[in-house]
Amino acid sequence: MSIRKIDSLEGHNQRLREIIDYQRKALECLFDISKSLSSTSEFDSILKKTIERILPVLDAQSGVVWLLEQDTLKKCWEVFECKEIGCKAYQNPEVKCWSISNPHCGEAGNDGLESRIGKCISCEVFRGAMLNTAITIGMTPEIIEPPFLVIGEGMCKDVIMRHPEISVFHIFPAEEGVECYRQVEWISDETPSKKPTMIPGNYCFLETSISNPKTRIGIVLMTQKKLFGILCIALDRAHYLTKNEMNLLINIARLTAISIENAELYCLAERRYQQIRTLLKEAHHRIKNNLQTIAGLFSMQLHDNQDPRIEGLLHDNLTRVKSISMVHHLLSQEDLKDVNLSSLINKILEMIIDVTGSKGRIIFEVYGDGIEIPSRRATSLALIINELAMNSVKHGITDSGRIAVRIQRENGQIQLDFHDNGKGLPQNFNKNLGLQIVSTLVEEDLRGTFRLSNNKGTLARIDFKE
């Protein structure tokens, strides 16, 4: 074999090694970006990780992201003096006209933003909006970036219009300032030495003189529903983009745009959740206050009443209202939908002993598993504990005694044992009104079972599914 053929074969093998090495870096880059973008919902982190991973693949010097400044966007219903109240974008700052499938202004069809960006970018609503610098990595003093970009002007418009899909500019030193050319053809990895087709281009960076050629790459960050901004990569040398590099950058830009969109949706959901949380807490707080007002009226009637029978009825209803009020108090202070069962029972027993004047005469203990229950069940259990406690104080413990409540969870079942060491159940025992209320609440609201037995006092056992 001749030396020339050996050299040619070696050169070919070297090129194959370079292509394989690049493909490995590209796959690692896509994997790292996909992994990192799916693990965060913070804008700055998403943009930073994207630039950090893409720079080594292209051996680039720096990167910058411009994001759409929302305050510079005009409102479509104001621009067109629109009165279409049925339009999703009408007087809704969170919905933009280009994000919906068929706005009433007729400027767009049923396709996504990517396919109708040409119409949108010439629209007054969209055209004058600005992009501001969001994050920069590796920028050096000799790279002078503009303070902002306008969507409908110059290179920014070309990048967003994606003609071609990626805007690549090569800047060369000239006798007077710089000369800029735009790459409109992507070179093949098999023929890297071939110079691509280029045309004179408008350049957005502000360098007026350079000592060596440079390359700038601009890619739009956009999804089917929203334009987010532009990603720019700077190289301190002339680098003609290949087809594989173009495809890599397009995929990275799509991944980044989708991640930004997901992060925005997450932030919106979180904001709405906090709003709902605040409203529900306020609702529980107001319900608690209203119930306390009713309890206050019962207390006033108790003081004015001289009939023992009516006094007993008022007293029973007073504790019932206070028990329900306790549930809403916990919901207004803690979680919106779940209540800690042990905490609820403790507070109700404290209230019962205080209201009945049993402090020092009756002690209580609540122990067992820590269980959270939904608000609806919490209301039923509050009334159940109220009735059982009132029954123990009024009929079970005649002098002094102890109440113990055990809570345990097993195999998807919750078991609640309410035990007092009073005199126990009498012979021929019939359930009074309070215990009838307990039976109804357990069977109908909790779909459980309720049993009473003598066990060194009275034991009430309640079983229900978690």
- Bond before 141 cis per omega within 30 degrees: no
Q: What is the pLDDT of residues 14-49, one digit of tens each?
A: 555 665 666 666 666 666 666 655 555 677 777 888
Q: Which helix (H) or strand (E) holds 167?
A: strand 167-173
Higher pLDDT, residue 244 or 103: 244
Q: What is the C-alpha separation between 361 and 367, in angstroms, rounded?
A: 20
Confidence of residue 140 (pLDDT cuts 50, 70, 90): low
Residue 238 tokens read as: 């002339």
Q: Which residues of 41-50 are buried (b: 16+ CB within 10 A; e: fewer)?
A: bebebbbbbb
Which of 396, 373, 383, 378 lies closest to 351 in space, CA to CA? Answer: 383
Q: What is the pLDDT of residues 184-217, one digit of tens each?
A: 888 886 666 778 888 888 765 566 677 888 888 9
Q: What is the pLDDT of residues 326-381, one digit of tens each?
A: 677 766 665 556 788 888 888 888 888 887 777 878 888 888 888 888 877 888 88
Whether the per-residue pLDDT at 136 is higher than 70: the answer is yes
> Can you state the percent helix, strand and coil of the chain, rounding each to 5?
45, 20, 30
Residue 457 tokens read as: 């006092």
Q: What is the pLDDT of residues 53-80, one digit of tens each?
A: 888 888 888 888 888 887 777 888 788 7
Q: What is the C-alpha separation between 460 and 420, in angstroms, rounded?
A: 9
**What per-residue confidence (pLDDT) applies to 278?**
73
Confidence of residue 145 (pLDDT cuts 50, 70, 90): low
Q: Are 224 and 114 in contact (CB under 8 A)?
A: yes
Least confident of 128-137, 252-261, 326-335, 354-363: 326-335
Q: Are 46 and 259 in contact (CB under 8 A)?
A: yes
Specify the DSSP class assigned to residue 441.
Answer: I
Please write down the HEC assignment for all residues of 216-241: EEEEEEECCCCEEEEEEEEECCCCCC
Whether the per-residue pLDDT at 233 is higher than 80: the answer is yes
Q: What is the mean pLDDT of residues 417-441?
A: 82
Q: What are the residue ranges of helices labelled H in 186-242?
A: none
Whether the per-residue pLDDT at 99 is higher than 80: the answer is no
Q: What are the residue ranges of helices labelled H in 214-370?
A: 243-304, 308-333, 341-355
Whether the per-residue pLDDT at 412 is higher than 70: the answer is yes
3-state secondary structure of 106: coil
Percent of the chain with pLDDT over 90: 2
Confidence of residue 143 (pLDDT cuts 50, 70, 90): low
Confidence of residue 396 (pLDDT cuts 50, 70, 90): confident
Q: What is the mean pLDDT of residues 277-301?
A: 74
Whether the per-residue pLDDT at 241 is higher than 80: the answer is yes
Whether the per-residue pLDDT at 6 is higher than 70: the answer is no
Q: Which residues pair with 199 in a beta bridge?
A: 182
Whole-Å CA distances, 151 to 72, 121, 133, 230, 299: 11, 7, 13, 10, 69
Residue matched to tokens 């609820």: 344
Confidence of residue 406 (pLDDT cuts 50, 70, 90): very high
Higher pLDDT, residue 20 or 83: 83
Q: What is the mean pLDDT of residues 272-279?
A: 73
**What per-residue confidence (pLDDT) applies to 224?**
80
Whole-Å CA distances, 290 to 18, 259, 294: 76, 46, 6
Percent of the chain with pLDDT over 70: 80
Q: What is the C-alpha separation between 326 and 389, in angstroms, rounded?
A: 15
Q: What is the pTM of this model?
A: 0.60
Cα 316-322-323 angle, rounded to 5 deg: 90
Residue matched to tokens 């609440």: 441
> What does the CA dihedral 177, 182, 183, 185 come to, rounded to 10 degrees?
-150
Average pLDDT over the chain reads 78
**What per-residue confidence (pLDDT) applies to 29?**
66
Q: What is the C-alpha separation between 58 and 237, in angstroms, rounded?
A: 11
